Amino acid sequence: MIVTDLPAPRPAGRWYTHLYVQVLSAIILGVLVGCFAPATGEALKPLGDAFIKLVKMIIAPLIFLTIVTGIAGLRDLAAVGRVAGNAFAYFIFFSTLALIVGLVVANVVQPGAGLNIDPATLDASKVVDYADQAHATTLTGFLLDIIPDTFVSALTAGSILQTLLAAILFGVALAMIGDKGDGVLGALNQLSIVMFKIVALVMKLAPIGAFGAMAFTIGKFGIGTLANLAGLVATFYITSLLFVIVVLGLAARIAGFSIFQLIAYLKTELLLVLGTSSSESALPSLIEKMERAGCPKSIVGLVVPTGYSFNLDGTNIYMTLAALFIAQACNVDLSIGEQALLLGVAMLSSKGAAGVTGAGFITLAATLSIVPSVPVAGMALILGVDRFMSECRSLTNFIGNAVACVIVTIWEGRLNRDEFEAALDGVMPSVDQLDPKMIAA
């Protein structure tokens, strides 16, 4: 259960002791190093890679423990099924809406118009690896990949969906045996406290990871790279911003909370996502913060990890926007029917490449390979700025999953409003101040 009798927050302390200040400072420093010492910036890549690997190391056991203890503690399997149904209904609606938004914006703004690129002049070899990965990621292969080779490998293979499947099966089985499983459930609850303590320790390294990742990005690709395709990058950022503020903001308002307060509550995690260009880097903290904000563990454990594979609003906006940009740049006039086909293929391919490194670019390749009107070689046009757009994709995906978690909890009538409002008002302790014993057990 969630402990509601939380202690008063500790004194705020000096401003530079806050994690979000440290991460923001690290990002700025990384940009400066990348700009003025590009070679040094590139050499700092291992710092970002090491931090992301540390986070990925704890994602699988954390998800497993959160889901198992949530489901087993609930003991109501019908409720678990209802939560999953509500979550997927939300995912399908907003993911489709994100694809449509990208399609509409691309038709209105036409960021690729006037470039007059001859596809024959493009170097397709630059994107051949992405295209090969896209072809290898079929729907059947995707479904089979959800099933781990062994139960233990579900926790070691690095696949969120495999971990999710194993955790659901274990949690359901534990719930079905009732009181006989109390000893196992109690041990897993205690282990959860240890895992969240590990999360707190790893997060102290977040500024170092953000610094290394940002220094590498700017050092290798350079801010000047943005100038060549500034129109597409600006269109994507503005569209994603409007989607978060208008679409998700309206959904949040209808549900009875402010999107801006939720974003402020998650500011440290958002800065971490910005610095590392990976929403996975903040997944453990998102799970923890959603639980402390009044969302039950059983709902957080199902909605958040599943959303990381099926609720990718930023990636979906990017896919349709980038696909039409390439078509416009190559003077390919897509009919309404062809755009509808593009939309339908994108809905499937965005799920088929879930969890794959560089999923945004790979899913785009998968989509274009099935829509012959748009040349796959045209992806070479945006390869240089894809890294900069990946940050926006990750931020939008992250916010979308946080909103999804709160809304599904509200639909279930299980949101603890007192804890939620206290968290959004900044009354509750920050992540690094929270006593691990107060974490949901």
Least confident of 212-226, 241-255, 316-330, 359-373: 359-373
Q: Band the pLDDT of 130: cuts 50, 70, 90.
A: low
The model's pLDDT over 289-304, given as tens digits with 9 standing for 90+, comes to: 999 999 998 889 888 8
Give the pair of three-digit tokens for residue 213.
Answer: 């990742």
Residue 263: how many CB atoms within 10 A of its CB? 22
241-291 confidence digits (pLDDT tens) = 999 999 999 999 999 999 999 999 999 889 888 887 777 778 888 988 999
Residue 132 pLDDT greater than 70, yes or no: no
Q: Is the pLDDT of residue 35 over 50?
A: yes
Give the CB-side neighbour count of residue 5, counting CA atoms within 13 A: 0
233-392-321-344 Cα dihedral, nearest 10 degrees: 170
What is the Cβ-side half-sphere exposure of residue 405, based on CA atoms within 13 angstroms? Answer: 32
137 confidence band (pLDDT: 50, 70, 90): low
pLDDT at 182: 83
Separation CA 353–CA 337 (nearest Å)? 24
The identity of residue 37, as a single letter, is A
Burial of 177 (C-beta count, 10 Å sphere; 0-12/13-18/19+): exposed
Distance, in Å, from the CA atom of 402 to the CA atom of 397, rounded to the nearest integer, reads 9
Give every CB contact of residue 51 below 8 A, 6+ residues apart in sequence.
Answer: 202, 205, 206, 208, 209, 210, 212, 213, 276, 281
269's enclosing H/E stretch is: helix 267-276
Choose between 19 and 355: higher pLDDT.
19
Query: Would the pLDDT of 401 be above 90?
Result: yes
Residue 286: phi, psi to the nearest 5? -65, -45
436: exposed, middle or buried (C-beta count within 10 Å: 0-12, 13-18, 19+)? middle
Amino acid at the residue 138: T
Between 226 and 33, the more confident residue is 33
CA–CA dist 175, 71 (Å, integer):
7
Closest residue by Cα to residue 11 from 382, 317, 429: 429
Fold classification of 15-438 is Proton glutamate symport protein (1.10.3860)
C-alpha dist (Å) from residue 423 to 101, 281, 417: 31, 21, 10
CB atoms within 10 A of CB 377: 22
DSSP per-residue string spanning 290-359: HHHTT--HHHHHHHHHHHHHH--HHHHHHHHHHHHHHHHHTT----HHHHHHHHHHHHHHHHHTTT-TTH
Alpha-carbon gap, residue 171 to 165, rounded angstroms: 10
Q: What is the pTM of this model?
A: 0.76
Instruction: Band the pLDDT of 116: cuts 50, 70, 90.
Output: confident
